[in-house]
Amino acid sequence: MKLHELKVDQRALIVEVSGDDGIAIRLMEMGLTDGEEIRLIGFAPLGDPIEFLVRGYRLSLRKTEAERVEVTALVDSKL
């Protein structure tokens, strides 16, 4: 599944960031590398951007950017 499809408070492991353009590179530079855990914290009031917790800090991404990230949801986090 894609990163933006997670639910609030759901955790996932990053599989891959697709593409090698500026946005993909920036996402990787911000620490979205494969195998890393990421959690969706919440959505902005207008539904976009989305806030995540990754590598111990809070990152906000637009939906179009989160779409670039393939993840596998972690099972244990159905809160």
Partner 1 sequence: MIEKVPPKNLERTVAVIGNPNTGKSTLFTALTGVHSQIGNYPGVTVEKKLGWFEFEGQSIRLVDLPGTYSLSPRTIDEMVSVDVLLGRQPEVGQIDAVVCIVDASNLERNLYVVSQVLDLGLPTLLVLNMWDVAQERGIQINTEELAKRLGMPVIPCEAHRRKQIDLVRSAIVQASHSPKPNPPDIFPELFHEEGRKLQAEFLQFSNQTLPTYLVERLILDVGGQLEMELTKPNPEQLITRLKEARERLKVAQFRVPNIEAKLRYGWSRQILSGAMSVPEKRPAVVTDTLDRWLTHKFWGLLAFCLAMFIVFQSISWAAQPLMKICESGQKQVGEMIGSLLPFGPLRSLVVDGVIAGVGGILVFLPQICFLFLFIALLEDCGYMARAAFLMDKLMTKVGLSGKSFVPLMSSFACAIPGIMATRTIENRRDRMVTILIAPLMSCSARAPVYWLMVAAFFPSISWAGGWITLHGIMLFVMTFFGAIVAVPIAWLLKKTLFKGETPPFVMELPSYKIPSPRIVLHRVFDRASAFVMRAGTLILATSILIWSVSYFPSDHSEEQKVLENIRLTESMLASELEQKEQLSLEREKIGQTPPLDSKAIAEVDEKIAELDTRLQPLHLLFDTRNKISEQLLANSFLGRFGKAIEPVVKPLGWDWRIGVGVLASFPAREVIVATLGTIYSLGGDVDENSQGLQTALQSATWPDGRPVYSIPVAMSIMVFFALCAQCASTLMVIRRETNHWGWGVFTFAYMTTLAYIGAWIAYVVTGWLLAS
- Name the residues that contact partner 1, by CB under 8 A: 17, 20-31, 33-34, 36, 42, 44-49, 51, 53, 55-62, 64-65
What does the DSSP 8-state code read for residue 44?
A: -
Side-chain-facing half-sphere of 5: CA atoms under 13 Å: 11
CB of 70 to partner 1, least distance (A): 13
Amino acid letter, residue 63: K
Please say which residue, 46 or 79, places its beta carbon nearer to partner 1.
46
Helix (H) or strand (E) holding 21: none
CB of 5 to partner 1, least distance (A): 18
d(CA 25, CA 23): 5
CB of 39 to partner 1, least distance (A): 10
